[in-house]
Structure 1
Amino acid sequence: MEKLKTKNFLLVLFVCIFSLTAFAQNSKKSTLTGTVIEASTNQPLEFASIFAQNEQNKNIISGGMTNEKGKFSFDVPSGNYYLKIEFLGFKTIELHNVQVQKDTNIGIQKVHDDTQMLEGVVIVAEKSEVDIKLDKKIYSIGQDMLVKGGTAGDVLDNVPSISVDSEGAVSLRGNENVKVLIDGKPTGLASNIAEAMRILSAESIDKVEVITNPSARYEAEGGAGIINIVLNKGKAAGINGNITATAGVPKNYELSGNFNLRSENFNFYTTLGYRDGKTEGYSRNNNQYFDQAGNTTQFIDEYKDNQRYRQGYNALFGLDYYITPSFTWSNSVNARRNTSDAPNTVSYQYYNSDREFIYDRNRFESRNSSRNSVEYTTSFEKKFKKPDHILTIEGTISQDKSTDDAHINDVNNHLNTSSYEKNNSKDDYLEGLIKVDYTLPIGESGHFEAGYFGNFKKTNNAYDFYNQLNNQWINNPNISNTLEYKENVNALYAQYGNKITERINYMVGLRWEDSNIDVNQLRSNDYNNKKYNDFFPSAFINYEITKSSSLSVSYSKRIMRPRGRFLNPFSNYTSNINYFQGNPNLDPAKTSAFDLGFTQRWTGLTLSASAYFNQTDDTFEFVRQIAGTTDDGTPITVSSPINLSTEYRYGLDLTANYTPFKWWRINGNFNFYRTETRGDYTFTDLNGDNHTQNFDNNTFAWFTRISSKITLPYKIDWTMNGMYRAPYNKAQGKVIGNLSANLALSKDILKDKATVSFNVSDIFNSRKREMETNLAQSFSHSEMQWRGRQINLSFTYRFNQNKNDRQKGKRPNTSNGDSSEMEMM
């Protein structure tokens, strides 16, 4: 391997040194072109290296690299050439005596998978899990053993630049103002992404697309960008599929399968899944309280044993009907059902000002919830005679119904008393979506796009809280309410892209969105209507420095509308002294985003760097405050979102894919950023007193992730990754740093038709959110771990399907919203 490494280094060195000499020796040049494809799939091979050396004059060396269509083109002096085509994981093609006296096309060259034995190590060609582009990262999870038997949260937490905290909150580059789509659409499940992270299984996901600075074609929603979760849909020719069974500790049983039948006239696909599992976690709040003079009055330590038993079913059925070679009608139905039981215990220990134990109290909660959702999508795609001239019309309707019921027994061991509470929550969600996208090539390189987007949703959440008095349940009107949320968004967009020179291209776009939103608290007759519209421009320019390196600059304007738990003032009361409360008066936050990106590709190494700056007005900030006391005088701490005036965020995002040897791949990501927030907040507590706090804060933060995959002897794949989130300060305290790691082993069996995998999620049982909060009336140290260490064993069997299937015969996916968009970056 060292010889191979030295050889590659010298090859690159010779190309750099002698290319200029060669061109200087012969002024007559011809263009050498060709196409490189994979022999097994007939798919174009991007970034393959082509080496050209003159057979008579060894000093004349040139070369190039294939583009996304597998094509290459570079100039050479006239002569007789030796050509070599290389791509990691495929056998090298060598061509001798290629005569180049004029512009020459060597035609289509097919490369074959390279499977060989080297020093006892089995080497199998395999596509990288992370595809880096300047504008987005595409993460394919099909072969990621780390997430087998896991959830969507596990998948996203392995994607460059993304992190998922212990409560399921998703952030991109450290910013939670991110829009999460499922199959390119804001479905009902995507509106409650924290819950979606727990419901969606990893096996149901094909890939994740991360778009850090979207163009006008995309929704303007999402100040930090867009994350698109693409579900599995079969597209390979013939009859094929796979089935996966998983067993884990703590209890985690899962069975899922994908089936695909494709012919010339239609493509039928289905995904079915069942999951029965248990999650174990905890939360802790250690609180110290002060009087107005700053003297300690008492301590209260709160600990919650967080257990949840879940059962879930999901089914996806889809049919693509190719009415004519240029006209496709697609339909899909996606249904899910999930139930859960959560027997939780919250323990409180009370201490006096000298931290001497006084008494304890326990709240025993029995919580049951269910969620049923169904979604139907139909779309039409018309391709015209001119390539890339396409019209797509898509419609979606989805419904989501959920219930959440809890019974609580509060036992005070000091007073030897018990009290009983219960709460019932019912949520009904209905959404309709219409999309029209039209793309038109203009001239040799021009590209025009225009379209319409309509999103119409309605949510009704009824929440009732009861106290038991004299063996009767009495509704508490101060806590009970019905929240109605309506959102109607109509949007139009247009954008145009073209080339200025062969190496410089650009795209400019403009999107207009009109929003009509109602946030109504029906029982208190509090009605709030918000109407606003705005233009959202975007601009991109890309400079191709060489065939393997690019530089880009982009700008877009974004918006983040509050919804869901951000707006609902009524939450569960598992703890009655620490809880979250939504704010129905939240306004949308608007962001101006600037991005400077650079990508460099070498054989075996891809580096992507991005410097970014975001300015967000009316940014969302989570504040904690003492909002009153319980009947026994215990302070109540409430966490709520507010609109703060302005946030400035700028940082550097680095991602690298490195393959030092065919048997070893390394992916790494590093994100460093600084946030500056400005603003004051005034609130009124439950006692009617006003409080004002300044939220001016400057802080640095960073996180890094590295993943390593090694092919061991006996066809065993070993994968391990680690992530570190550095500590950072907040206006009301600080977040403690956190280190976590995952491990997986897998082996192909049954002549590579099946795979056995073993993984450990959170090896050190350390993935949690830990923070300190400083208020005038209290200091608290809190920890939250939604799920502890998980160990899974999975078995996957494939029929008529290769492990590294690259979806032969794949048609453009119109649902993702970017299939025909000009690839600017």
Structure 2
Amino acid sequence: MKINKFIIFIFLAVFSSFQCVCAQNPELEIVGKVIENATKQPIAYATISVIDIASKKAITGTITNAKGNFLLKTKASNFYIEVSFMGYTSKTFRAFKIENGVIDLRTIVLEEDIQGLDAVVVRAEKSQTEFKLDKRVFNVGKDLSSTGASVFEVLNNVPSVNVTIEGDVSLRGSQGVQILINGKPSVIASNDGNALGTITADMIEKIEVITNPSAKYDAQGTSGIINIVIKKSEKRGLNGAATLNFGVPNSNSFGLSLNKRTEKFNLFSQMGIGLRTFPDERKTINRDLVNNRSITSIGESAFDEKFSNILIGADYHIDKMNIVTLSGSYAYENETQGATSNFEQEADNNIDKWIRNERTEATNPKLRYELQYIKNFKRHKDQTLLFSALGSSFRKDQSSEFQNNTTVGDIPDFRQKSRTDYKLEEYTFKLDYTHPFLEKYTLESGAQYVVNIVGNDFEVSDFINGDWVSVPELTNLFDFTQKVLGIYTTAAFEGEKWGVKFGLRLEDTNINTLLETTSENNKNNYANVFPSAHASYKISDDFSLQLGYSRRINRPGLRSLNPFSNIRNNFSISTGNPDLQPEFTNSYEFTGIKKLDKASFSFSIYNRKTTDVMERISVFENNVSISRPENIGTNTTTGFEFNGKYAPIDWFSMNGDFNMNYFDRSGVFEMTTFDFSGNQWSTRLTSKFKLPAKFDVELSGNYRSKYKTLQQEIAENIFMDFGLRKKIFKGKTILNLSIRDVFASRVNESVTNQPNFYLFNSRRRGRFITFGISYGFGKGEAMEFSGQRR
């Protein structure tokens, strides 16, 4: 890791008063070299401290360079010297020779501390947050890196970021955050497993939080970006963890993670197997207000998933300036789902009842692979060239069979089945170059090419007269291809107090959809410019203001474009729209960030205007509701957001998020005007307690108010999560208990009340209880995540 100028600045400021006291003494030079005992290799970034004998406080200090050498100047007269490095036994020098004003400690050999990392003396380098033009940078100091904790514990110390005991990461209360590794998508940061937990605190240089991304990043809309920057020179050694989880309903899994670092290689791997169950309770009401007919459905389902996954990768340090990374992961899932729904139809004072049973089976193989090359330059520590290629493939072979059995009335029994053969391939190629110059200026440029290829072969068949007969209007082969080429450049000036950054991104999008059976072909080609502008002003080291603007795009995904969907409920169908266009958003944001002694908080005032808003519209015919996304008008949202962390005492801390906004909708669809306004608000409060005997307790409450869409009213939602953690054996083993939705109150309800029809939809997952045990070995701590579906 290159020397962090911010930390050096703080370090020198703290000890400048001691240097002034000794100004009358002649200046001494302290030189030497630090190596480790086992391999005789130099130790970079070891700490050399000059400590006053009387007060036992540090006077000044420095760290070793990449070759283990150091040079330190001091005017102190009554001191001793201490040499330390995390994971190694410190050495103290009280007797030394002074020749011609130089103290030469020659070669200092440090031995590994076999008693564990708890004995390491931390004298400085506390984690600090810096305010940059378009982001906040959390520099990971020794207070966190020397503990060997997981990346989740580090993230929990970052302002505006919260991580539950289960490992769910949220930014400003939203879990739609994109996680990058060294500024790019990575196999490690994918949602296919918990590979992110293989990163330990001592591997992390800094964490960047970006709430309003600049033109450097993909213009596809996200709620924010968390970029984890890995150290360029990681500490050598072996660390790993084994994790075992049990849960009700089933959340049973075993995971093993290993990381081995040598002088040239960093090898990492992760594997897991498990069984998970996801229950579901649903209720729907379709009511024809013209003909006074209604259909009610109440059902339950259980989704069982058996999974296995493996990830393996390696970083190869060609030399100090060139690093190549190759990694890949494979996962296989076997799914079964059973569902039972009770239907009741009432029309003309007649009542019919039937039971619809479903049995679904599916297999999902997943493959991801990545190649990365990073070149650093001697000219400047921040000058870099990065190339990465990321590929993935996913396949789902699924079959479902449905059986209707009439219990009341004379409706005939009915059998139906569906078949899905789904294939997805995605390729991302990325090239980034960063060029600092004249100390305060930086130019960035690069390109990205993303290819998505999807095929969905879908068929529905009815059982008629002893034979399965395909239903033509519900059967087709849907092909989807999307290619996005992006080119960007940014220019920035960053001074001591203020800075500005401007960026421009050009993206060319090529989308093609094809329904092969009916030969319906839709092509959509468009090029867009996405500017961004950011400014910041540092009032003090603890108070900063930021102003940002960016233009974003939200392209419709496969589910929104694919005209076919699940037929679990024949009377409540959700489908896609191949003609759907992307929506565009102009986002403005003003943010203030304040750090206090025991608290930090930020507030934001934002305005977002979105055109061609994608909104689901329901149509109703013969008691069947069909929901389909359409582009309807514009939406202007103005809101206020507050995020804060408060730790008044060592054993208690709070993390809160509050978001309130007012929105104004306008648009016309099929000669009907949809103009209305409304508001909504949400809040999240997490309290954490450190109890005696190393017990940690976490309580998290969430609330979202009700709000309107074009046709629907979404009900309010409130729920609470609970977590309990116990560390034993010096943090090498962690016992973990989590309860999600403690009171089973997390119910998603919506009502569509139109002049001709009424729709009600309700869904509840229920309570999840998981107990886990994780054991860490080598130089790492047990990893703090469970095997839940991410």
Q: TM-score, normalised by structure 2?
A: 0.78
CA deviations 1:23-71 (Å, max 9, x no partner) are xxxxxxxxxxxxxxxxxxx99899xxxxxxxxxxxxxxxxxxx659865
Amino acid at match of 2:696: D
| 1:582 equivalenced with 2:561 (yes/no) | no
- Deviation of the 1:431 alpha carbon: 2.0
RMSD between aligned residues: 3.9
Tell me what 1:363 maps to. 356
Write the distance in 1 (CA, Å) between the matches of 2:596 and 2:215: 32
- Deviation of the 1:381 alpha carbon: 0.8
Write the distance in 1 (CA, Å) between the matches of 2:230 and 2:347: 54
Contact 1:620/1:642 (<8 A) preserved: yes
Tell me what 2:639 maps to. 651
Of 683, 688, 691, 1:709 maps to 688
Contact 1:318/1:330 (<8 A) preserved: yes
| 1:665 equivalenced with 2:620 (yes/no) | no
Write the distance in 1 (CA, Å) between the matches of 2:322 and 2:4: 27
Tell me what 1:216 maps to. 215
Of 763, 771, 791, 2:769 maps to 791
Over the matched positions of the two proteins, sequence identity in percent amounts to: 25
Amino acid at match of 1:449: E
Of 256-265 and 750-759, the range deviating more from structure 2: 750-759
Tell me what 1:811 maps to. none
CA deviations 1:513-540 (Å, max 9, x no partner) are 1111111111111111111112111111
CA deviations 1:387-436 (Å, max 9, x no partner) are 11111111122211112210001122221631111111111111222111
- Deviation of the 1:695 alpha carbon: 2.1
CA gap of 1:74–1:803, structure 2 versus 1, over 3 A, is: closer
- Deviation of the 1:603 alpha carbon: 1.8
| 1:516 equivalenced with 2:510 (yes/no) | yes
Tell me what 2:679 maps to. 700
Of 417-426 and 743-752, the range deviating more from structure 2: 743-752
CA gap of 1:469–1:132, structure 2 versus 1, over 3 A, is: farther
Uncovered stretches (5+) of structure 1, i.e. residues with no partner: 1-41, 47-65, 83-91, 114-121, 146-151, 165-169, 173-178, 191-195, 630-634, 683-691, 807-825
CA gap of 1:564–1:210, structure 2 versus 1, over 3 A, is: farther
User: Aligned to 1:141, what secondary structure does the other structure show?
Assistant: helix
Contact 2:166/2:738 (<8 A) preserved: no
- Deviation of the 1:613 alpha carbon: 0.9
- Deviation of the 1:693 alpha carbon: 3.4
Contact 1:452/1:491 (<8 A) preserved: yes
Write the distance in 2 (CA, Å) between the matches of 1:277 and 1:237: 36
Tell me what 1:159 maps to. 170
Of 401-410 and 221-230, the range deviating more from structure 2: 221-230
Write the distance in 2 (CA, Å) between the matches of 1:662 and 1:625: 57
- Deviation of the 1:224 alpha carbon: 4.8
Write the distance in 2 (CA, Å) between the matches of 1:260 and 1:314: 17
Q: State the number of aligned residues.
A: 678
CA gap of 1:619–1:419, structure 2 versus 1, over 3 A, is: same
CA deviations 1:67-99 (Å, max 9, x no partner) are 5986565999999679xxxxxxxxx99777979
Tell me what 2:593 maps to. 599
Detail structure 1 runs of 4+ shifted over 4 Å in the superposition.
42-46, 66-82, 92-99, 103-113, 124-134, 136-140, 142-145, 152-158, 179-190, 201-210, 223-236
Tell me what 1:718 maps to. 697
Write the distance in 2 (CA, Å) between the matches of 1:559 and 1:81: 59
Of 387-396 and 414-423, the range deviating more from structure 2: 414-423
| 1:325 equivalenced with 2:320 (yes/no) | yes
What are the within-5 Å matches in structure 2 for residues 65-214 of structure 1? 73=13, 135=135, 140-142=151-153, 159-163=170-174, 170=176, 200-201=193-194, 211-214=210-213
Tell me what 1:445 maps to. 440
Of 609, 614, 617, 1:615 maps to 609
- Deviation of the 1:281 alpha carbon: 1.7
CA deviations 1:517-565 (Å, max 9, x no partner) are 1111111111111111121111111101101111010111111111210
CA gap of 1:357–1:713, structure 2 versus 1, over 3 A, is: farther
Write the distance in 2 (CA, Å) between the matches of 1:461 and 1:651: 40
Of 576-585 and 770-779, the range deviating more from structure 2: 770-779
What are the within-5 Å matches in structure 2 for residues 393-792 of structure 1? 393-413=387-407, 414-415=409-410, 417-499=412-494, 501-626=495-620, 628-629=621-622, 635-682=623-670, 692-785=671-764, 787-792=765-770
Write the distance in 2 (CA, Å) between the matches of 1:710 and 1:154: 12
Contact 1:188/1:430 (<8 A) preserved: no
Contact 1:754/1:797 (<8 A) preserved: yes
Uncovered stretches (5+) of structure 2, i.e. residues with no partner: 23-50, 61-72, 88-117, 139-149, 157-162, 201-206, 785-790
User: Aligned to 2:693, what secondary structure does the other structure show?
Assistant: helix
- Deviation of the 1:731 alpha carbon: 2.5
Q: TM-score, normalised by structure 1?
A: 0.75
Tell me what 1:16 maps to. none
User: Aligned to 2:292, what secondary structure does the other structure show?
Assistant: strand
Contact 1:156/1:163 (<8 A) preserved: no
Of 356, 372, 380, 1:379 maps to 372
Write the distance in 2 (CA, Å) between the matches of 1:188 and 1:79: 49
CA gap of 1:494–1:522, structure 2 versus 1, over 3 A, is: same
Amino acid at match of 1:370: T
Amino acid at match of 1:660: P
- Deviation of the 1:363 alpha carbon: 1.1
Tell me what 1:685 maps to. none
- Deviation of the 1:237 alpha carbon: 2.7
- Deviation of the 1:638 alpha carbon: 1.3
Amino acid at match of 2:685: I
Amino acid at match of 2:394: D
CA deviations 1:743-774 (Å, max 9, x no partner) are 11111123432111111111001112112111
User: Aligned to 1:478, what secondary structure does the other structure show?
Assistant: helix
User: Aligned to 2:759, what secondary structure does the other structure show?
Assistant: strand
| 1:347 equivalenced with 2:347 (yes/no) | no
